[in-house]
Amino acid sequence: MVSQLTTNGEGLRLFFTDDIYLVNEPDGALQEEVQTYLKGEVPSLTQPSAVSEPVIPLIKELPEFKFLGNNNRNILILVNDEQNDVSDEKGRELLRKIVKSINLSASDFALLNYAKYKGTSYEQLKARFSSVIVFAFGVSAEQLGLTKYPENMVVTEGGVKLIFSSALQKLDEDTNGKKVLWGSLKQLGL
């Protein structure tokens, strides 16, 4: 019978597609243990680990998000409005026009008011919504834990296309901002 154990790096990449982060390295012991695994040597299970304390992953628990829409096409729309569920009337109308102009319906996207989930990171949103496109109105890249990006331009972060724009109320009054945003929306090809 052929052994199903492999230490071939290219073969292992097919099974392990997530990024791995080294969280704790006490006195090089963990690195030594990792090197042992990379060489293909599997230490005995009865052998005590060289690590004196457990490595605890730094993963925040995902909040229970309340959002509008069905997210069928994995498109996340973030708004940031402290007073309203989505925005004021002008902001909601602008959002309707934007969504309609790129042929989206409520079943295609998830609409989330970030004001109710301040401090939530891009990674947490990505884990919950599996987004391929994110529109952020009034939510900056920095608030999501990302580097700063220009407004109304399509950028890519980890395979996800993002557009950061000003809050809907402010964007409604910014003719030039709307023109730049419209050009970016056409680039998405939705």
pLDDT at 189: 76
Range list of H helices, the chain = 9-15, 29-38, 89-101, 122-129, 168-172, 175-188
In the chain, what percentage of residues exceed pLDDT 90? 58
Q: How far apart are CA 80 and CA 21, in angstroms?
A: 31
Instruction: Report residue 140's pLDDT band, with 50, 70 and 90 as the boundaries.
Output: very high
Which one has a higher pLDDT value, 145 or 50? 145
pTM of the model: 0.67
CB 121 within 8 A of CB 129: no
Which residue segments constitute the domains of the chain, with CATH numbers given? 1-58 (no CATH), 75-188 (3.40.470.10)
Query: pLDDT for 54-69, tens place per residue?
Result: 544 454 566 788 999 9
Q: How far apart are CA 23 and CA 56, in angstroms?
A: 8
Which one has a higher pLDDT value, 137 or 18? 137
Residue 29 predicted with pLDDT over 60: no
The predicted model gives 163-182 an average pLDDT of 94
Query: pLDDT for 125-139, tens place per residue?
Result: 998 999 999 999 999
Q: How far apart are CA 174 and CA 166, in angstroms?
A: 9
Instruction: Report residue 36's pLDDT band, with 50, 70 and 90 as the boundaries.
Output: low
Question: Which range (37-41, 145-149, 174-178) has the least confidence?
Answer: 37-41
CB atoms within 10 A of CB 93: 13
- Distant-in-sequence, close-in-space partners of 74: CB < 8 Å, separation ≥ 6: 129, 130, 131, 132, 133
The predicted model gives 137-151 an average pLDDT of 94
Which one has a higher pLDDT value, 132 or 51? 132
